[in-house]
Amino acid sequence: MWRNGLTEVSRMEGPFWLSDDPQGPFPPLHLALEQPNGLLAVGGDLSPQRLLNAYSHGIFPWYSEGEPILWWSPAPRAVLFPDELHIGRSLKKRIRQHPFKVTLNHAFPEVIDACAAPRSNTEESGTWITEEMKQAYIQLHQLGHAHSVECWDENQLVGGIYGIQIGKLFCGESMFTRSNDASKIALVTLLTEFKGDEIGMMDIQMMSPHLLQLGAREVSRTEYQRELARLTG
């Protein structure tokens, strides 16, 4: 979910180039490179068929404007199991105060726009969410596969999260906050209220400090693939 920069494609040795068939196969995950960690394939497109095929196999796109589409499956993998969600004392107190109105799927395009905006005060710039990616995920949302949670302060959108759901797997793509704890409250509400019975694991892809505080942990590729098969099969 938090991605800190790309190694240049020109340094890769032997990348797997995808065919033009959006339903064509991806290579097995064990063929992903160690450096850069998790790089598996190059090319293809962001059609709904290819994206759903990718996520169902533990693969996600991540690239910068002007680059070919890069497909990743890093190891270890950062995940958050709902039954391991840790809500600290101060966050519990904040949630009890009901500081925001929290909604599900009320403003998906606005959430992804906010996640894509540059952020000078965090390690994640958001600039990896290209216009092509925005339109692809909005299309997945329209098809019922992508979801957003929004936090509102009166009529102002102050935080949120979006991701892809396949079976009982939720792949968190990005989140943003414009008010203290807004993104954390969006995530907690997603896992405990909106989709509490529908999510067995949240794939957050790469660890961040505040997700670690919420109970996220890293798992091996073997464990990740086992959970992936259980939740999406």
What confidence score (pLDDT) does residue 120 get? 61
pLDDT at 127 over 80: no
pLDDT in tens, 59-100: 999 998 889 999 999 999 999 999 999 999 999 999 999 999
Taking the domain 9-74, which CATH number applies?
3.30.70.3550
Whether the predicted model's global pTM rises above the 0.95 cut = no
**Of the options 3.90.1150.10, 3.30.2010.10, 3.40.630.70, 3.60.20.10, the CATH number for the domain spanning 78-232:** 3.40.630.70
Long-range contacts of 3-7 (CB under 8 A, 24+ apart): 3/62, 3/124, 3/128, 3/205, 3/206, 4/123, 4/124, 4/206, 6/36, 6/62, 6/63, 6/64, 6/67, 6/70, 6/128, 7/35, 7/36, 7/39
pLDDT in tens, 9-42: 334 455 699 998 998 999 999 999 999 999 999 9
pLDDT in tens, 195-222: 878 999 999 998 999 899 999 999 999 9
Determine the 3-state secondary structure of 68 from DSSP.
coil
Asked whether this chain's domains 9-74 and 78-232 adopt the same fold, the reply is no
Domain boundaries, the chain: 9-74, 78-232
